[in-house]
A and B are shown apart, each in its own frame.
Chain A
Amino acid sequence: AQKVTQAQTEISVVEKEDVTLDCVYETRDTTYYLFWYKQPPSGELVFLIRRNSFDEQNEISGRYSWNFQKSTSSFNFTITASQVVDSAVYFCALSGPPSGTYKYIFGTGTRLKVLA
């Protein structure tokens, strides 16, 4: 069965601190996709990144970086020099082909509070 675990329910940091959001996933599939989404206080869901199971390269986009490690089934998200505007709930998601169709499931989210 597929599962996504975000053990950190809520994190508070002071502006300009670095913060890492953890994501651990479970799947028996060899082909799968991992995602991160952001939900700001306004409530919409914003796509941040997608990674397939065959691409373990880390990625950096501005202050955001992602570390994908198949050996530990983890896909962690780091925000460098956090800003108040980063305050949001962040979701990790997994999509894989159980029986050939893709279920797109989410973790429970991590609420990040960045204090000025």
Chain B
Amino acid sequence: NAGVTQTPKFRILKIGQSMTLQCTQDMNHNYMYWYRQDPGMGLKLIYYSVGAGITDKGEVPNGYNVSRSTTEDFPLRLELAAPSQTSVYFCASSFTGGTEAFFGQGTRLTVV
């Protein structure tokens, strides 16, 4: 019963590098989300998806890209990493937009 799985758990990037944060869920949920949580702060929505092939911007999309080719997977791409992207990233999924969201364990990303 895996739920939402994120990889990697930790990563250090150099300024200007790119990487993809992986997220997969096995609950057949339609909705998936990416959030970032800066130290001592709340969760900010980066991107979300309401189904395969459909994505939309959240509150803080700049510097990120997403795709949703399958129901299960929702990778987050960071292009040209900047120190401002140092954060903990959470992926989540929900059956509909009005139901409980299940969260992954988070990815702690440091850009130096």
| Contact present for A102 and B106 (CB under 8 Å) | no
On whether the beta carbons of B31 and A106 are closer than 8 Å, the reply is no
- Quick check: A106 and B42 within 8 Å, CB to CB? yes
How many interface residues does chain B have, given as a range?
20 to 34
Q: What's the least CB distance linking A95 to chain B, in Å?
A: 5
Stretch at the interface among A11-19, A41-49, A65-73, A78-86: A41-49
Give the residues in chain A near B42, CB-CB below 8 Å: 6, 91, 106-109
Convert A78-116 into 0s and 1s, putting 1 for each residue whose CB lies closer than 8 angstroms to a CB of B. 000000000000010101110001111111110000000
**Does B112 touch A at the CB level, under 8 Å?**
no
Interface residues on A, range: 20 to 34
Query: Which residues of B are found within 8 Å of A107, using beta-carbon distances?
Result: 42
Proximity bits, B71-102, A CB within 8 Å = 1, else 0: 00000000000000000101010101111111
Which of the segments B13-21, B43-51, B62-70 contacts the partner chain? B43-51
* A58 at the binding interface (Cβ < 8 Å): no
CB within 8 A of B31: which of A43, A47, A102, A105?
Answer: A102
**Which residues of B are at the interface with A, using a C-beta cutoff of 8 A?**
31, 33, 35, 41-45, 48, 50, 54, 56, 58-59, 88, 90, 92, 94, 96-103, 105-106
A residues in contact (CB < 8 Å) with B = 6, 32-33, 35, 37, 43-45, 47, 50, 52, 91, 93, 95-97, 101-109
Q: What 5 pairs across the A-B complex have the smallest Cβ distances?
A: A102-B97, A108-B42, A33-B98, A106-B43, A45-B103
